[in-house]
Chain A
Amino acid sequence: MSNANGTMNLTLKVWRQKNAQTDGKFVTYKAENISPDMSFLEMLDVVNESLIHAKGEPIHFDHDCREGICGMCSLYINGRPHGPKRAITTCQLHMRSFTDGETITIEPWRAAAFPVVKDLAVDRSAFDRIQQAGGYISVNTGGVPDANEIPIPKVIADEAFNSATCIQCGACVAACKNASAMLFVSAKINQLALLPQGQPERYRRVQTMVAQMDHEGFGSCTNTGACEAECPKEITLTNIARMNFDFFSAKLFREEEVQEIDNN
Chain B
Amino acid sequence: MSELKQTFNSSLGKKLIMALTGLFLSLFLIVHLGGNLLLFSNDDGYSFNMYANFLTHFPPIEVIAYLLYLAIIVHAIYALVLTIKNRKARSVGYAVATKSPVSFSSKNMGLLGSILLVFIVIHMGDFWYKYKFTHDVGYKEYRTDITSGERTVTDFKPEKPDFEHSLSYADNTEITRVKDIHSRVANSFSILWYVVIYVIAMVALSFHLLHGFESAFRTFGWVHRKYLPIIKFVGVWLFAVIIPLGFAAMPIVYYLQSLK
* A interface residues (Cβ-Cβ under 8 A, vs B): 13, 15, 26, 76, 78-80, 84, 105, 107, 110-113, 175, 177-180, 210-211, 213-214, 217-226, 229-230, 237-238, 240-248, 251-252, 258, 261-262
Contacts and interface: CB of A to CB of B under 8 A. Distances in A.
Contact of B96 (A105, A112, A246): A105
A166 to B, nearest CB: 18
B106 interface: yes
B63 interface: no
Contacts of A211: 10
B187 interface: no
A180 B98 contact: no
A110 B99 contact: no
Interface of B: 3, 7, 10-16, 82, 85-86, 88-103, 106-107, 109, 211, 214-215, 218-223
B223 A241 contact: yes
Given A210-B12, A224-B107, A261-B3, 6 more contacts: A26-B95, A79-B97, A219-B90, A246-B221, A248-B12, A251-B13
Given A175-B98, A219-B85, A244 B220 contact: yes
B95 A180 contact: no
Nearest to A242: B221
B100 A220 contact: no
A79 B211 contact: no
A222 B90 contact: no
Contact of A229 (B89, B100, B218): B100
B102 A225 contact: yes
A229 B92 contact: no
B90 A111 contact: yes
A13 B96 CA distance: 11
A164 to B, nearest CB: 19
B221 A248 contact: yes
Contacts of B16: 244, 248
Contact of B220 (A177, A230, A245): A245
Contacts of B106: 222-225
B88 A112 contact: yes
A101 B125 CA distance: 58
A78 B95 CA distance: 9
Given A220-B82, A223-B215, A241-B223, A107 B102 contact: no
A69 to B, nearest CB: 23
A219 B110 CA distance: 15
A228 to B, nearest CB: 9
